[in-house]
Amino acid sequence: MAEQKTKPHTGDVTEFLLAIEGDERRADAQQLVTLMEEVSGEPAVLWGTMVGFGHYHYKYPTGHEGDSFLVGFSPRKNEFSIYLMGTYFPSVEAERTALLARLGKHRMGKACLYVKRLSAIDMDVLRELAEISVRTLRNAYPAT
């Protein structure tokens, strides 16, 4: 089995965030850190160029397994990628769909939310989505 490329490391999150271009984008990134630390109860950790919160180990029926963060984001050049893996579970699909309809300007991949600026979305709705993600992943992959 191939080794997982994206892993948590000891990089400095503050330094990483300070390197983001633009005052508004840096402030948005810090706002995401605050929200995700509150929701997850975990500190920010760099996973490559992603800022992750918490940790879980997954193992699929195929035998593929690995580690990931419960919730996180990456300040990409044109938009933030906000990782909400736990919102992709069928058990929360209706709730996710209803929340996304209220979120504001965004686009959504399977479990990745793309937002240009936080002022364009409802932060209370984002908090609910992050809470769903964390709760769903903790239930699906309890710590051993």
**pLDDT in the model for residue 144:** 54
pLDDT class for 8, splitting at 50, 70, 90?
low
Residue 104 has pLDDT above 90, yes or no: yes
By DSSP bridging, strand 80-83 and strand 112-115 are antiparallel
Question: Does residue 2 lie within any of the structural domains?
Answer: no
**pLDDT in the model for residue 2:** 47
- Exposed/middle/buried for 13, CB within 10 Å: 0-12, 13-18, 19+? middle
What domain range is 58 assigned to? 13-140
Question: Does residue 51 lie within any of the structural domains?
Answer: yes
Q: What 3-state class would DSSP assign to 98? A: helix
**112-131 confidence digits (pLDDT tens):** 999 999 999 999 999 999 99
Question: Does residue 7 lie within any of the structural domains?
Answer: no
Question: Does residue 8 lie within any of the structural domains?
Answer: no
Question: Does residue 6 lie within any of the structural domains?
Answer: no
Question: Does residue 5 lie within any of the structural domains?
Answer: no
**35-88 confidence digits (pLDDT tens):** 999 999 999 999 988 999 999 988 878 888 888 999 999 999 899 999 999 999
pLDDT class for 1, splitting at 50, 70, 90?
very low
Total count of domains within the chain: 1
Rounded distance, CA 33 to CA 44, Å? 7
Q: Which CATH number characterizes residue 70's domain?
A: 3.90.1150.200
CB 117 within 8 A of CB 28: yes
Q: For the chain, give the mean pLDDT.
A: 91
Question: Does residue 103 lie within any of the structural domains?
Answer: yes
**pLDDT in the model for residue 61:** 84
Kindly state the DSSP code that residue 69 receives in the 8-state scheme.
-
| Cα angle 44, 27, 34; round to 5 | 35
Residue 95 has pLDDT above 90, yes or no: yes
